[in-house]
Amino acid sequence: MFQQNWRQILFSLFSFVIAFIPARELQAQAPAGRSAASLNPAISVIGTFLGTAASAEAFRKNIDLGLHEAEFSFQAYVDPYAKADFFVAFGRHGSNPLAAEGEEGGLEPALEEAYLTALSLPYSLKVKAGIFRSAFGKLNLSHPHAYPFADLPAAYVNFLGDEGLSDAGVSINWLVPNPFHYFQELTFEFTSASAESRSFAKAAGNKFLYLAHLKNFFDLTENATLEIGLSGAFGPNDLDGHITKLGGLDFTYKWKPLRRNRYQSFTLMAETIFNHRHEAGGARVKSKGFYGFANYQLAKRWFLGGRYDYAEFPESGERHDRAVSGVLGFYATEFQKFEWQLGRIKPAGQDGYFQILLRGVFVIGAHGAHEY
């Protein structure tokens, strides 16, 4: 596990040096003034408890409760040119402890993310190198404990992996100038395709995973925003280098009145993933996945949401998982939240069952800012 990670780090550092050299030459600027105390990186620990109960007989255990993950993060500016972020997690794999196997032991450590971001590049560029969550879709960039529901949508699990897609490599991000002055950002990533994921696998030779994401953000009014994203990924799915192409479309509408942004909000989001897979012997698979989610803020600390999941598989467009869930969120403070989720799950080729998830997330230390 760790050996694998070290290989990834070396690969990333190498790529980063290449991407980074011009920045140092172009930028000449006074170094940031720092006091001794600020030399320590901002440290935080995020704990996630997960409780699960399911009406299905098929599970080894059908009631479970425990610490699901402890995530340690270290973040700081390296110098006036760059910032470093490290996330180490001790956790069980997958968002559903009942569905995963072989985890009777303790929590396994994993280097979730470790990357350097160059912040002062010319031409509105930003470069990230290391191990990081891929810029595919809307949810994938943020950590699962930040999601407004207790598990990953089935489309993510089936096509990207139990915890979403992350890999080692380089990410180049360009703020696209446009005459309308709205936010448009183009991300291009090439990564080693060596991390665990359902759609991609490490191939022999230099077969990378290429990924692009275009994010468009519009202020509809002072209180409402719309984000539309397009994603594409292209990479090997087996040792021989057969190719999988993924396409993604994401849509997020948020209404949040500025004066009352702590009391009232409404979010509507939807994502679709399209898969086109080449297999040995010339076979082709076309399949897709979708989820839609609506979240309404009932009161300052209470949220009520509903999600519909539909997901075929990377290897098959014939079978599909389906689920409908309702989630009640209680956000005690910015440092602690709970989610109760009730779902009717219908896995492909199996009987449907009910599932209850109970998730508690808490943070100590420097609390990271939230992405919008």
Partner 1 sequence: MLKIPNKFASPLIILLLISVSAVAGEKLNVVTTLTDFADIAKQIGGDKVEAFAIAKGYQDPHFVDPKPSYIIKLQKADLFVHGGMDLESGWVPPLLEGARNANILPGAKGHVDASKGVHLLEVPSGDPAQLRAQGDIHIYGNPHYWLDPVRGKQIAENICAALSRLQPQNEAYFKSNLEAFTKKIDAKVAEWQALMQPYNGVKIVAFHNSWPYFDERFGFDIVAFIEPKPGIPPTPKHLAAVIDQMNQIGVKVIIVEPYYSKDPCNLVASKTGAKVLELATAVDGAPEVKSYLDVFDYNLKKLIAAFQQIAEAGNNGK
Which of these segments, 74-82, 206-214, 280-288, 353-361, binds partner 1 (CB under 8 A)?
74-82
Considering the complex, what minimum distance in angstroms separates the CB of residue 266 from partner 1? 14
Q: Does 219 bind partner 1 (CB under 8 A)?
A: yes
Buried b (16+ CB within 10 A) or exposed e, 272-289: bbbbebbbeeeeebebbb
Q: Which residues contact 237 (CB under 8 A, 6 or more apart)?
A: 199, 200, 201, 243, 244, 277, 278, 279, 314
335 binding partner 1? (CB under 8 A): yes
The CB-of-258 to partner 1 minimum distance in angstroms stands at 5
Q: Which residues contact 102 (CB under 8 A, 6 or more apart)?
A: none
- Look at residues 346, 364, 363, 344 and name the one whose alpha carbon lies nearest to residue 354: 344
Window 42-71: residues binding partner 1 (CB under 8 A): none
Return the number of the residue (57 or 371) whose C-beta is nearest partner 1: 371
Task: Output 6 or 182, the one with its CB closest to partner 1.
Answer: 182
Q: Decide: 334 and 367 in contact? Cβ < 8 Å.
A: yes
Shortest Å distance, C-beta 84 to partner 1: 12
Nearer to partner 1, 185 or 238 (CB): 185
Q: Which of 1, 36, 39, 369 binds partner 1 (CB under 8 A)?
A: 369
DSSP code per residue over 317-358: EEEEEEEEEEEEEEEEETTEEEEEEEEEEE-TTS--EEEEEE
- Binding status of residue 223 toward partner 1 by CB under 8 A: no
Q: Catalogue the E-assigned strands of 142-181.
A: 166-175
Query: Using the rule CB under 8 A, is 371 a contact of partner 1?
Result: yes
Contact present, 174 and 186 (Cβ < 8 Å): yes
How far is CA 145 from each of CA 27, 95, 120, 197, 340, rounded to the nearest angstrom? Answer: 37, 10, 30, 19, 14
How many C-beta neighbours within 10 Å does residue 85 have? Answer: 19
The distance of closest approach from Cβ of residue 5 to partner 1 in the complex, given in angstroms and rounded to an integer, is 25
Residues paired with residue 345 on neighbouring β-strands, in sequence order: 323, 353
Instruction: Give the x-and-dash track for 252-271 against partner 1 (CB under 8 A).
Output: ----x-xxxxxx--------
Pairwise CA distance, residues 88 & 51, whole Å:
22
Q: Of the candidates 78, 300, 350, 352, which one interacts with partner 1 according to CB under 8 A?
A: 300
# binding residues, partner 1 (CB under 8 A): 49
Q: Encoding tokens for residue 331?
A: 């956000």
Least distance from partner 1 to the Cβ atom of residue 181, Å: 6
Residue 256: strand, helix, or coil: coil
Nearer to partner 1, 33 or 105 (CB): 33
Q: What is the per-residue binding string for partner 1 in 176-215, x denoting contact by CB under 8 A?
A: -----xxx-x-----------------------------x
39 belongs to the binding site for partner 1 (CB under 8 A)? no
Smallest gap, in angstroms, from Cβ of residue 127 to partner 1? 10
Q: What are the residues binding partner 1 (CB under 8 A)? A: 27, 29-34, 77, 80-81, 83, 117, 119-121, 124-126, 175, 181-183, 185, 215, 217-219, 222, 225, 227, 256, 258-263, 300-301, 333-335, 364, 366-367, 369-372
